[in-house]
Chain A
Amino acid sequence: MPESRQHCYVLLASRRAVWKADSKTNTTSLQNQFGGSDYFSPTEMADGRKTAYVKVIFLGDQSVGKTSLLNQFIQKRFQKKYKATLGSDFFVKEVRVGETTVVMQIWDTAGQERFRSLGSSYFRGADLCCLVYDVTVGKSFDDLDNWKEEFLLQAMPPDPERFPFFVIANKVDLPDDQRMVTSSRATEWIRRRPNFHHVEASAKSGDGVDQAFLQMATVALERNREDRQVLTPVQVRDVDPPPSKCC
Chain B
Amino acid sequence: MMQKDASSPPPAPGAGANVEPVEEDQIRYLEQCKVNVRQQAANMVRAIDAGDLEEVLKFANLVLGELRTSLLSPQKYYELFLAISTQLSTLESFFNDAHSKGKKMNELYELVQHAGNIIPRLYLLVIAGSIYIKTKEAPAKYILKDLVEMCKGVQHPMRGLFLRHYLLQLTRDKLPDDSDQDKSGGTVRDSVDFVLHNFIEMNKLWVRMQHQGAGRDRERREKERGDLRVLVGTNLVRLSSLEGVDEALYSDVVLPAVLEQVVGCQDCIAQQYLMEVIAQVFPDEFHLRTLDTYLKTLAHLEAKVDVIALMVTLVKRLAKFGLSQRAKITDEMRLFETFLENIQPIVEHRSDSISTVQVLQLHEALLDLVLSVYPERLAYIDQVYARTSATLEAMNVTSIEDAASVKILKRMIMLPLEAPAPAATATGAAAPPRNTLADVLCLEKNVDLLRLLTPIHKKQVALSITRSAIERGAPIPDPEKIDRLVELIRPLIKDEPGLEAEADEDKEEFEENQNLVAKLVHILANESSDMTYRLFYNIRRHFGQGGFKRVRHTLVPLFFASMRLCHRVYRTEQQEAAGEAAPAAEPRQFGSIKILRFLLEIVNIIIKAFPETGLRLALQAALCADNCNSSEMAYDFMTAALLAYETEISESRAQLQAMQIIISTLQSTKNFTEDNYDTLAKKCTMLSSKLLKKPDQCRAVVMCSHLFWTERPIPATPGETAPEWHDGSRVLECLNRSVEIADKCMAPNVHAPLFIEILNEHLFYYAKNVPEITADRITELVNLVINRVSALQEEDLPAIMAYKQNTLRHIRWHQASPREPAEADKYAAIAIPH
Q: Which A residues fall within an 8 A CB radius of B?
A: 7, 11-12, 15-19, 81-87, 89, 112, 115-119, 121-122, 234, 236, 239, 241-247
| Interface residues contributed by chain B, number (CB under 8 Å) | 54
13 A-B interface contacts by CB (under 8 A): A12-B90, A81-B285, A83-B280, A86-B233, A86-B277, A115-B233, A118-B74, A121-B79, A241-B43, A242-B39, A242-B40, A243-B7, A245-B7
The interface residues of chain B lying within 8 Å CB-to-CB of A7 are: 42, 45
B396 at the interface (CB under 8 A from A): no
Would A83 and B283 be within 8 Å (CB), given that A118-B78, A245-B5 are in contact?
yes
| Residues of B bordering A, CB below 8 Å | 3, 5, 7-8, 36, 38-40, 42-43, 45, 48-49, 61-62, 65, 68, 74-75, 78-79, 82, 89-90, 93, 96-97, 100, 115-117, 120, 169, 172, 226-231, 233-234, 236-237, 240-241, 277, 280-285, 321
Residues of A within 8 A of B7 (CB): 243-245
Q: Is the CB of A81 within 8 A of B283?
A: yes
Is B43's CB under 8 angstroms from A15's CB? no
CA A119 – CA B79 in complex, angstroms? 9
CA distance A17 to B93 in the complex (A): 8
CA distance A17 to B79 in the complex (A): 29
Across the interface, B237 reaches (CB within 8 A) one of A81, A86, A121, namely: A86
CB distance from B631 to the nearest CB of A (A): 60
Q: A11-B90, A86-B277 are in contact. Are A247 and B229 (CB under 8 A)?
A: no
* B residues near A17, Cβ cutoff 8 Å: 93, 96-97, 100
State the CA gap A12–B36 with chains docked (Å).
19
Distance (whole angstroms) from the CB of B221 to the closest CB of chain A: 14
The interface centre, meaning the residue of B61, B169, B281 with most chain A CB atoms within 10 A of its CB, is B281
Given contacts A15-B97, A245-B65, contact A84 B231 (CB under 8 A): no
Cα–Cα distance between A116 and B230 once the two chains are bound (Å): 7
Instruction: Select one of A84, A122, A236 contacting B82, CB under 8 A.
Output: A122
Contact A245 B68 (CB under 8 A): yes
Q: Are B75 and A121 in contact (CB under 8 A)?
A: yes
Total cross-chain contacts (CB, 8 A): 114
Choice from A11, A81, A116, A117 contacting B284 with Cβ under 8 Å: A81
Complex: A119 Cα to B3 Cα, angstroms: 29
B237-A239 in contact (CB<8A): no
| Closest B residue, CB atoms, query A87 | B230
Closest to B134 in A: A18
Q: Is the CB of A87 within 8 A of B231?
A: yes
Complex Cα–Cα for A30 and B284 (A): 39
Q: How far is the CA of A231 from the CA of B608 in the complex (A)?
A: 91
A247 B117 Cβ-Cβ under 8 A:
yes
Q: Bound state CA distance, A213 and B464, in angstroms? A: 50
Residue contact A18 to B97, C-beta cutoff 8 Å:
yes
Additional 12 contacts, C-beta under 8 A, given A81-B285, A242-B36, A246-B117: A11-B90, A12-B93, A15-B97, A18-B96, A18-B100, A19-B93, A86-B237, A86-B281, A87-B230, A112-B280, A239-B39, A244-B7
Bound complex: CA A118 to CA B234 (Å) = 12
How far, in Å, is A156 (CB) from chain B's closest CB? 13
A177 CB → nearest B CB, Å: 10
Closest A-B pairs by Cβ, 5 of them: A81-B283, A246-B116, A245-B65, A87-B230, A84-B280
Chain A residues with Cβ below 8 Å from B231 are 87, 118
- Most B C-beta atoms less than 10 A away, residue of A85, A116, A118: A118
**Inside 8 A of B49's CB, which chain A residues have their CB?**
15
CB contacts (< 8 Å) of B96 on chain A: these are: 17-18
Contact residue among B61, B62, B230 (Cβ-Cβ distance under 8 Å from A86)? B230
Could you tell me if A118 and B117 are in contact, using CB atoms closer than 8 angstroms? no
CA distance A119 to B81 in the complex (A): 13
Instruction: Report Cα–Cα, A51/B803, bound state, in Å.
Output: 110
Is the pair A246, B233 in contact by a Cβ cutoff of 8 Å?
no
Chain B residues, Cβ within 8 Å of A86: 230, 233-234, 236-237, 277, 280-281
Q: Which residues of A contact B115 (CB under 8 A)?
A: 246
A243 / chain B contacts, CB cutoff of 8 Å? 7
Between A86, A121, A242, A243, the greatest number of chain B beta carbons within 10 A of the residue's beta carbon is seen for A86
CB-CB under 8 A from B40, the residues of chain A are 242
Residues of A within 8 A of B229 (CB): 117
- Closest chain A CB from B254 CB (angstroms): 13
Instruction: Tell me, in angstroms, the Cα distance from A57 to B93 when the chains sit together.
Output: 23
Query: What distance in Å separates the Cβ of A61 from its nearest Cβ neighbour in chain B?
Result: 14
> A79 CB to closest chain B CB, in angstroms?
8
Which of A82, A118, A122 is close to B227, meaning CB atoms less than 8 Å apart?
A118
| In the bound complex, CA of A116 to CA of B228 (Å) | 10
B444 to chain A, nearest CB (A): 36
Closest to A63 in B: B320
B42 touches A247 (CB 8 A): no
Nearest CB on A from B703, distance (A):
66
Which residue in B78, B82, B284 is a CB contact (below 8 Å) of A82? B284
Chain B residues near A122: list those with CB within 8 A.
82
**A87 CB contacts on chain B under 8 angstroms:** 230-231, 233-234, 237
> Do the beta carbons of B5 and A247 come within 8 Å of each other?
yes
The reply to whether A18 and B75 contact each other, CB–CB distance below 8 Å, is no
Q: Is A121 within 8 A of B82, CB to CB?
A: yes
State whether A83 touches B93 (Cβ < 8 A).
no
Output the nearest chain A residue to B61 by Cβ-Cβ distance. A246
Q: Write the nearest CB–CB distance from B296 to chain A, whole angstroms.
A: 23
Shortest distance between the CB of A23 and any CB in chain B (Å): 13
* Inter-chain contact B74/A247, CB cutoff 8 Å: no
Q: Are A117 and B230 in contact (CB under 8 A)?
A: yes
A165 nearest CB across to chain B (Å) = 22
Closest-by-CB residue of B relative to A62 is B280
Cβ contact within 8 Å between B228 and A246? no
Instruction: Please state if B62 and A242 are interface contacts (CB–CB under 8 Å).
Output: yes
CA distance in complex: A19, B90 (Å): 12
Q: Which residue on A lies nearest to B227, using beta carbons?
A: A117
How close is A241's CB to chain B, nearest CB, in angstroms? 7
- A118 and B75 form a contact (CB under 8 A): yes
Whole-angstrom CA separation of A115 from B231 in the bound complex: 10
Partner of B93, one of A15, A85, A119: A15
- Take A82-B283, A83-B241, A244-B7 as given contacts and tell me if A117 and B226 are in contact as well, using a CB distance cutoff of 8 Å: yes
Instruction: Please give the distance in Å from A19's CB to the nearest CB on chain B.
Output: 7
CB-based contact A245/B38 at 8 Å = no
Q: Which of B8, B40, B233, B285 is the most central at the interface, judged by chain A CB atoms within 10 Å of its CB?
A: B233
CB closest chain-A residue, reference B168: A89
Inter-chain CA distance A116–B75, complex, in Å, is 11
Residue among B68, B89, B100, B282 with most chain A CB within 10 A? B89
When distances are taken between beta carbons in the complex, the residues of chain B under 8 Å from A119 are 75, 78-79, 227
Q: How far is the CB of B35 from chain A (nearest CB, A)?
A: 10
Which A residues are in CB contact (< 8 Å) with B36? Answer: 242
* CA of A234 to CA of B281, assembled, Å: 42
CB neighbours of B48 from chain A (8 A): 12, 15
> What CA separation (Å) do A121 and B30 show in the bound complex?
13
| In contact, A234 and B93 (Cβ under 8 angstroms) | no
Q: Tell me how far the C-beta of A155 lies from the nearest C-beta in chain B, rounded to whole angstroms.
A: 13
| Closest A residue, CB atoms, query B162 | A118
A243 to chain B, nearest CB (A): 5
Residue of A nearest to B243 (CB): A77
Residue of A nearest to B226 (CB): A117
Contacts of A242 in B (CB 8 A): 36, 39-40, 62
Q: Nearest A residue to B240 by beta-carbon distance?
A: A83
What is the chain B residue whose CB lies nearest that of A234? B38
Given the contacts A118-B231, A119-B78, A245-B68, A85 and B237 also touching, CB distance less than 8 Å: yes
> A203 to chain B: closest CB distance in Å?
15
Min Cβ gap A120→B in Å is 9
Contacts of B284 in A (CB 8 A): 81-82
Most buried by A among B49, B78, B116: B78
Residues on the A chain within 8 Å of B74, using CB: 118
Check A245–B237 contact: CB distance below 8 A: no
A247 near B3 (CB under 8 angstroms)?
A: yes
